[in-house]
Structure 1
Amino acid sequence: MRWCYSCVSRRSMRSGIACTDAHRRHFLDSVILFVCGFLLIAHASAGENVLRVLAWPGYADADVVKTFEDRYHAKVEVTLVDSDEALWDKMHQGSHPQFDVLAANTAEIQRYTHENLLAPLDLARLPNTSRQLPRFRALSSIEGLTNQGNVYAIPFTYSTMGLIYDRKQVSVAPHSMNELWNPRYRGKVLDYNSAQHNFSFTALALGYPNPFQLNGAQIQTITRKLVDLRRNLLTYYNLPEEAAAYFVQHKAALMFGNYGTQQVELLRRAGADVGYVIPDEGVLAWLDCWSMTNAAANRPLALAWINYMLEPGVSQLLTQRQGLANTLAEPPESTGKSHIIWIEPVEDIQKREALWSRIVSGDRPERF
């Protein structure tokens, strides 16, 4: 037992005991403060190892995320979007991006690069890119992936946006997107809720040479044609699962397949007898890529995520579960010599979205 000299001088055992208890309490208080401080530091350190991911459904499933978290001792926070417009809005919340990595198509990547929202990628930290098919390793040949010698996006998955049809109601496979307007399918058509893609695929159906750069007269013609399409519509959809449910439950006949083979896979699993065609006039196609934002707090972790997404096991899961092509292996069903058009930034996205909002809301035809 240790004694306080002031207590000894008083020759008081009671005081000595009291002083000893006080010292013990002081010691315990010090230990508690030390432990709390250590926990706070540990918590702060763990907080720095958080990866904020912005992606589409199916790109970051729970088990895929868990494996990454365990490997890198990190926490991954995933935010899902159901449209390019929603992704754009998420990226513009606050004064700077609230995410570290995002998955977006090449057209959107160009928009984000133009606004300086993305950070250049260090390819040396992405060794799994060597596993990709040659056409996806040739980054400079794909519009939107590079800028001023820097790489801003790595291809991940892709699909054409063709026409999905019910074989029981459509006995002969359609050859044109114009079939969506066939009066025979009144109330049996599903359309994806997107200003960009609807104006672009309708431009192809009308034979316009560049579906991404339309003049005023072309925009007006397309707007009226999209208003006319409402006569045949069952409804608009956003997510592939939503579209599959509508298609099966309401016996739709035709659908603009924004998610392409992913939707075909979902429908077939649901028991639907569907076919998938690429129109004679050509088909839009999207190439989704992973990028790192300029707000990424832990860039090595962000690069590790992009590299992880290109592991064979992860990429194969995307194909097995979602029916989407990956960039490591050729898809089982080749598109052959089909006229595939990778989507690009459009002439005036604000104008398209304003018109589309009016179309979807049911604005009267004579007002366009």
Structure 2
Amino acid sequence: MPNLTRRSFLAAAAAMSATSIFPRNLMAQTNDVVVGTWGGTFGDLLAVNVDEAFMQPAGYNILQEISGPVPRRTKLISERMQRRGSMDAALLADFDMYAAAKVGAVEKLDASSVPNYDNILPFLKKAHSVPLIYSAHAIVYRKDLITTPPQSIAELWNPKYKGKIGLSDFLYTSNMAYASVHNGGTLSDFEGSEKGVAAWRDLDAKLLPSTEAVGQALASGDIWMTIISAARGYSWSKSGIDLGWVVPEEGAFPAVYEAAVPKNARNPEGGMAYMNALLDPAVQKAFAEKMGYLPTVKNGEISPELEEKIGFSEAEQNRLWQPDFDFILENQAKLLDTWNRALKG
């Protein structure tokens, strides 16, 4: 048996005593809050403005579980029958969160569990989630190459922009909504969407694999116009690209990102605390200034100068579409098949 000094013996005894009172896994996990989220700039903003500013001082240890939205939604839904899930807070786009709520995978929220809940803007308030940020999938364009702002969605099919229209493969639902409205359809039937998508193919529209690829194509001039969140247009313009954005006269598809607490969260109290922190005015302001997304709470004030750049007028707010999530959820596979067949051949 190796020799122990008195100091090392006492240290070992103390460690054994602590372990016997507090099991090792309980000590490590008691205050952990696992957050399923995006990485990159988004994750960095959460780490600084939520984790470090609010959660850590309250005694919580935040563990970001970074993944794409599809596997995160799949995990949230598939784990709902387990006694304990792997996330305490999940961040998703509104449609993906709706799908999770539809099958009972997330907790109900209100002011008793999330004190800042009552500050949520009325048109964004839901019982199953809190809205973190919002914008709209608008028409974003190169102002130096298109000098007259495209007021109608018809400009997305204007032959003079042949080869200069870019479409994010990731945003096929929003793109097909535009195609439907342009061809006399609605958000509850998507009639005419296949015709519109096929017309994009005839115009040599460029299909881009990611949001980042859209930004790069705009920066290089490879494309002049796209459907993407106005917030992205703002953030890219800060890097020196001469971009403008328009909520066209026919309307635009909203872009809302939400957060919820899984029903089987290991640390539901921590998850609720995270929901509340996301709605703090300081957090909302940080996302507005850095990424161009609008605050979702009534007390989320931003400067008049920033409001002028990223805000929506009352008329523009009234033109934002109200997606039929039940229809989209029931027809998602069909919509994706139509998108692939009509655009990719």
- Specify the TM-score bucket, using the shorter chain as the normaliser: 0.7 to 0.9
Identify if the C-alpha distance between structure 1 residues 229 and 246 changes in structure 2 by more than 3 Å, giving closer, same or farther. Answer: same
Query: Which position in structure 2 is the counterpart of 1:51?
Result: 33
SS of alignment partner, residue 300 of structure 1 = helix
Residue number in structure 2 paired with 1:349: 332
Q: Does 1:286 align with 2:255?
A: yes
User: Are residues 1:233 and 2:205 paired?
Assistant: yes
Give the AA of the match of 1:91.
Answer: L
The one-letter amino acid of 1:170's match is I
In structure 1, the partner of 2:312 is: 334
Shift of 1:159: 0.9
Return the offset for 1:279: 1.4
Kept in 1, the 8 Å contact 2:111–2:118? The answer is: no
After the TM superposition, which of the residue ranges 302-311 and 241-250 deviates more from structure 2? 241-250
Equivalent residue runs for 1:1-368 within 5 Å: 32=12, 35-36=15-16, 38-39=18-19, 41=23, 43-56=25-38, 58-60=41-43, 61=45, 62-64=47-49, 65-81=51-67, 83=69, 85-92=70-77, 96=82, 97-133=85-121, 135-136=123-124, 139=125, 145=126, 151-193=127-169, 194-208=171-185, 210-214=186-190, 218=191, 221-230=192-201, 231-239=203-211, 241-257=212-228, 259-260=229-230, 262-328=231-297, 329=300, 331-332=307-308, 333-338=311-316, 339-345=319-325, 346=328, 347-359=330-342, 362-363=344-345
The answer as to whether partners of 1:190 and 1:236 remain within 8 angstroms in 2 is yes
Amino acid at match of 2:227: F
TM-superposition CA deviations, 1:248-278 (whole Å, max 9, x none): 0244210111x22x21222211211121111
Q: 1:313 and 1:42 mapped to 2: Cα distance?
A: 36
Q: Give the Cα separation in 1 of the matches to 2:261 and 2:33.
A: 11
Report the counterpart of residue 304 of structure 2 in structure 1: none
Partner Cα distance (2:31, 2:340) in 1: 40
Distance (Å, rounded) in 2 between the aligned partners of 1:323 and 1:22 = 62
Q: Does the 8 Å contact 1:157/1:326 carry over to 2?
A: yes
Cα deviation for residue 237 of structure 1 reads 4.0
Q: What is the rounded CA distance, in whole Å, between the counterparts of 2:36 and 2:4 in structure 1? A: 52
Partner SS, residue 214 of structure 2: helix
Sequence identity percentage:
17
- The alpha-carbon deviation at position 297 of structure 1 amounts to 0.9
Q: Is the 8 A contact 2:182 2:196 kept in 1?
A: no
Q: Shift of residue 292 of structure 1?
A: 0.8
Superposition RMSD on alpha carbons, in Å? 3.1
Partner SS state of residue 97, structure 2: helix
Cα–Cα, structure 1 residues 125 and 212, in superposed 2: closer, same or farther, change >3 Å? same
Pair 1:120–1:287, CA change in 2 (3 A): same
3-state secondary structure, aligned to 2:315: coil
Letter in 1 for 2:338: L
Separation in 2 of the partners of 1:212 and 1:102? Answer: 27
Over residues 90-140 of structure 1, what are the superposed CA-to-partner deviations in whole Å (9 max), with x where a residue is unaligned?
43455655322122344333321121111122521322234444555xx4x
State the Cα distance separating 1:82 from its structure 2 match: 5.2
Please give the alpha-carbon distance, in whole angstroms, between the structure 1 residues aligned to 2:148 and 2:10. Answer: 81
User: d(CA) in 2 for partners of 1:222 and 1:119?
Assistant: 35
> Is 265-274 or 292-301 further displaced after alignment?
265-274
Structure 1 residues not aligned, in runs of 5+: 1-20, 140-144, 146-150, 364-368
Aligned twin of 1:10: none
Is the contact made by 1:244 and 1:266 (CA closer than 8 Å) also made in structure 2? no
Letter of the 2:144 partner, please give it: K
Instruction: Compare CA radii of gyration and give the structure with the larger one.
Output: 1
Number of matched pairs = 320
- Secondary structure at the aligned position of 1:164 is classed as strand
Residue in 2 that maps onto 1:3 = none
**Residues 22 and 198 of structure 1: CA distance in aligned 2, closer, same or farther (over 3 Å):** closer
Amino acid at match of 2:238: R
> Comparing 324-333 with 291-300, which one deviates more in the overlay?
324-333
Normalised to the residue count of structure 1, the TM-score between the two structures is 0.76
